[in-house]
Amino acid sequence: MNALSPLPPAILKRKAVVYVRQSTQSQVLHNLESQRSQYDLVNTARRHGFQQVEVIDDDLGRSASGAVARPGFERLVAWLCAGDVGAVLCLDASRLARNGRDWHHLLELCGLADARVIDQDGVYNPCAPNDRLLLGMKGTISEFELGILRARMLEAARSKAKRGELRINVPIGYIWHRDAGLGFDPDLRVQEAIRLIFSRFRELKSGRQVLLSLTQDKLSFPRPSEGRYMTSFDWTPIRYRNVISVLKNPFYAGIYAYGKSGPRAEIVDGRAHKSYGHGKPMEEWDIFLKDHHEGYIGWEEYERNLAHLATNAHGRKGGVKSGRGGRALLSGLMSCARCGCRITVTYPGQALSPVYRCDYMNTMLGHDRCVHFGGSRIDAAIAAEILRVVQPVAIEAAREAERMLTMASEERRRAAELDLQKAQYEAGLAERRYAACDPENRLIAATLERNWEATLQRLEACKMRVDVGEAPIVAVEPPDLEGLAEEVATAWNAAGVSARTRQRLVRTLIKDIVADVDEQSREVILTIHWQGGQHSQLRVKKPKPGQHGRVTSEDALTLIRSMAGRWSDSDIAATLNRMSLRTGCDHTWTAKRVSSTRKINGIRAYASADKQGGWLTMAEAAEKVGVTHHVIRRLIKEKILPAEQVMRHAPHQIRIVDLESDAVAEALRHRNAPCRDPRQTTLPMITNT
């Protein structure tokens, strides 16, 4: 090494390459003096006698540890292999490489091409043993220095994180205060948005349902306006990833975690490539501090939320899935008693009736299905069992539902009020900015005016939301809930109750159902695990092959049997419709349907169809005596004309003998006479006195 001796003319004919590099983008932006010193090496090359000087600065902001690609360094290596480089100039050895592989590879190429390495200390000839030894030591020291610096910084950060004092990036809803440390974001609207996600998840038990609920209420979620710096927010429509990121982040449960992710290294084209940000399991986190700060929820609730999200995952074993709608009431709730897997639901055929079956053994091992059975009878049996259990506590459940409805309404009103306050502030700020602007400067004034108009429109929209949510308070008496227990079935079967609502109610009461099939007795055995820890067993008869569920109810058949001996099919159909009884296909009754049902069940026709018999209907009796049926009805009501009814609401049956009695004839004869008390006497208009 001799910095004063001149370089050989053969080397000076080639070009000199100045290699400029800084490790991070922050150094590129702020360490400008280091850049200036590296670019000044061009003058150093000219002082050594080089006429052609090239600068390679493609690797600014790239590390030389060997974990990332460096196109500038690869271009330098290519020029060395071509023999075009006479000298490589760098500020120090660490600029060229921070790993032994790249450094020694560069020295080998410089030795083969008879190129020099020039830094601030002098000129080195890699072909000379002493210079080669010195360059090797510099490269080793550079690599060792990088390891020492990295180890010291990481250990210092880890040591600070163990005390919970390292200011890591915090999620939305928290902020590092300059003096007070970590705490809630002072913006109440941001806090309310986070709390609303957790409160809705407690109720719905599904991240997807939380998203749909918040979207229906037109609620927004904050997004940092300046990237990672949470100094200001843009309120945008909430997305599914916002909901999941809040529910899965342990920071909201008061957990301070450090080292949640780690690097991964792989060999690509003979070079080690490292990638960062790969998540690790919770038990492998470097630092895990509970109760480090005030959380939006507790640790137990956070674990329950993770369990719910895991069991809701489609197609996974174990756990009860959340209610997602559909025709099947018990979808995702039943497990197989034989293999323990979750029973799935299919909808074969055009009727789309649910069928429950365990497909795991068939899909994975090719074995026969464990169990399979229709869902209509099972759903009806479980619904009846739930109604039986719920009836004694129907009043308390109604009051709890009313309380939850009030809380949900209060949450929506609170969110709307916070939106209104934010809109009022933004509108006032836009107005002040417009007032402070010079009116003559139209380029700026026009933009500020448009911003002001946009904030005023948003303010009006927020006011409308608040006005809609604030219904006038009317003093009403509390509802009488004493008769609610008898109306539970009516409420369950109401037309406005959705399948998802029924599924959520079932999951509120039932933890799990284990299903099995007894082939000998043809019964489906359902073991119900209730939420309170109790268990009950329910047996449902499995239909025989070819048997379907479109069967006329026993009540309708009983009525047809009792009326068929005296009444026509039309009268029977009218009576069945008045009693709200339906056919097996859920249709209203007609004379033709009654006749078909009689023939199938072996019920003979009505006896009064024979007009030579001794019975008449009300219409026939009225026609026989020449009066309206209202007169006949009055005679029956006054007990003058005897009549019979098979059951209430059924037509009246009148004997011909009773219709021809003297009492009926006398009543018909005087039906148009004025109503007068026979005990009253007529007084003369003119007396003798």
Just list the catalytic residues: 23
From the CB of residue 435, how many other CB atoms can be counted at a distance below 10 Å?
10
What is the three-class DSSP state of 352?
Answer: coil
491 in Cβ contact with 442 (< 8 Å) = no
336 in Cβ contact with 512 (< 8 Å) = no
Residue that the structure tokens 């006195």 belong to: 689
**Distance (Å, whole) CA 501 – CA 484:** 19
102 in Cβ contact with 75 (< 8 Å) = no
- CA 161 to chain CA centroid, Å, is 34
What is the three-class DSSP state of 195?
Answer: helix
569's CB contacts (< 8 A; 6+ apart) are 591, 592, 594, 595, 598, 605, 606
49 in Cβ contact with 4 (< 8 Å) = no
**Distance (Å, whole) CA 344 – CA 335:** 9
> Helix (H) and strand (E) counts for the chain?
25, 22
66 in Cβ contact with 34 (< 8 Å) = no
Q: At what angle do helices 240-248 and 188-204 cross, to 10 degrees?
A: 90
Residue that the structure tokens 């690790």 belong to: 280
At position 328, the amino acid (one-letter code) is A
What is the three-class DSSP state of 170?
Answer: coil
**Distance (Å, whole) CA 67 – CA 271:** 8
Closest C-alpha among 323, 476, 492 to residue 394: 492
538's CB contacts (< 8 A; 6+ apart) are 381, 382, 385, 525, 526, 528
**Distance (Å, whole) CA 397 – CA 408:** 16
